[in-house]
């Protein structure tokens, strides 16, 4: 099964991230979602076919769903409306790219947790708190929190690890008023998305949002509520007290943990069975949440 990498010669490449390639075109930005997969902040050598298309389709769905609550950076995802300089690359860009406003990204990743899992569970076991937020005693892994919490982290370069920070530290980085606006916005859109997803059989255990500024206005940027940036659990098999089945890359993380990888570059190659099962999980998340697969028109 073919996988995808961009090759847009003559177009200014700004950055090649863990998953996305970012280009500047006429003062705006072209975001291309590749099939690369990162785990524990390391890009793995084995891509997941069609992954970039799933991430793009799902982000477009959520940008539209949330647009009345928070503006976003999307200009268009219709390649026929892209600038003429991109016309030779329409085949590469179709279904896996977005043409967006150029924003000033904020230096924090904005994580909302509705359930106790991942690094939040690890921190809770050690100190009874997550990012400085004290939680009730006696919670178990994957348990729903009394209410969703906002837990920011730093943005790490490729190959480095993001680090959880307190809200007070975030205030130092972006200022009190903006930090409070970001927290309130992130909690609001997480709650709205969670209600919608649960009605479709998906628990959004936690997710990462990214925000930027355009002319002083806070907007939602990058990807949103995808299997790369979220933990998606099936409602019908949810049982607190341990890890959950998932529709996201936790399946890959669990495999990597099982083989004893030290979580340092280079990452190990993934067996074909893991690749195929990961792809199936991403496609299932897309179908459940948007009602459409990759081949279906919305």
pLDDT one-digit tens code per residue, 222-238: 999 999 999 999 999 99
DSSP 8-state secondary structure symbol assigned to residue 60: H
Q: What pLDDT is stored for residue 290 in this prediction?
A: 96
- HEC string for 135-168: CCCCCCCCCEEEEEEECCEECCCCCCCCCECCHH
Domains and CATH numbers, the chain: 12-100 (3.30.200.20), 104-250 (3.30.470.20)
pLDDT in tens, the chain (298 residues): 455 567 798 999 999 988 999 999 999 999 999 999 999 889 999 999 999 999 999 999 999 999 999 999 999 999 999 999 999 999 999 999 999 999 999 999 999 999 999 889 999 999 999 988 999 999 999 999 999 999 999 876 554 567 888 999 999 999 999 999 999 999 999 999 999 999 999 999 999 999 999 999 999 999 999 999 999 999 999 999 999 999 988 889 999 999 999 999 999 999 999 999 999 999 999 999 999 988 754 4
Q: How many CB atoms lie within 10 A of CB 97?
A: 27
Residue 232 vs residues 31, 77, 235, 242, 269: alpha-carbon distances, Å: 24, 25, 9, 15, 24
pLDDT one-digit tens code per residue, 61-71: 999 999 999 99
Residue 72 vs residues 220, 222, 231: alpha-carbon distances, Å: 4, 9, 22
pLDDT one-digit tens code per residue, 150-188: 999 987 655 456 788 899 999 999 999 999 999 999 999
* Half-sphere exposure at residue 53, Cβ-oriented, CA atoms within 13 angstroms: 19
Helix axis angle, 250-258 relative to 272-290, nearest 10°? 160
């Amino acid at each position: 099964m073919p996988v995808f990498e961009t090759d847009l010669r003559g177009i200014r490449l700004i950055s090649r991230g863990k998953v996305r390639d970012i280009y500047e075109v006429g003062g705006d930005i072209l975001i291309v979602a590749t099939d690369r997969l990162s785990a524990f902040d390391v890009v793995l050598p084995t891509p997941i076919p069609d992954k970039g298309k799933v991430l793009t389709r799902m982000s477009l769905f959520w940008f539209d769903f949330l647009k009345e609550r928070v503006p976003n950076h999307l200009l268009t995802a219709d390649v026929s409306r892209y600038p003429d300089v991109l016309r030779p690359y329409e085949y590469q860009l179709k279904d896996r790219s977005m043409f967006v406003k150029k924003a000033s990204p904020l230096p924090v990743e904005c994580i909302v947790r509705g359930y106790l899992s991942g690094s939040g569970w690890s921190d809770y076991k050690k100190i009874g708190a997550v990012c400085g937020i004290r939680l009730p005693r006696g919670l178990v892994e994957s348990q729903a929190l009394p209410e969703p919490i906002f837990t920011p982290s730093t943005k790490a370069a490729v190959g480095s690890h993001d680090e959880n920070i307190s809200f007070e530290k975030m205030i130092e980085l972006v200022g009190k008023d903006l930090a409070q606006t970001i927290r309130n916005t992130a909690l609001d859109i997480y709650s709205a998305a969670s209600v919608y997803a649960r009605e479709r059989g998906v628990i959004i255990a936690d997710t990462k949002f990214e925000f930027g500024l355009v002319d002083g206005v806070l907007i939602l940027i990058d990807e949103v509520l995808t299997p790369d940036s979220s933990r998606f659990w099936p409602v019908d098999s949810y049982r607190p007290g341990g890890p959950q089945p998932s529709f996201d890359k936790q399946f890959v993380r669990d495999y990597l943990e099982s083989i004893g990888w030290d979580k340092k570059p280079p990452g190990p190659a993934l067996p074909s069975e893991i690749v195929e099962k990961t792809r199936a999980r991403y496609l299932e998340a897309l179908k459940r949440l948007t009602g459409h697969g990759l081949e279906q028109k919305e």
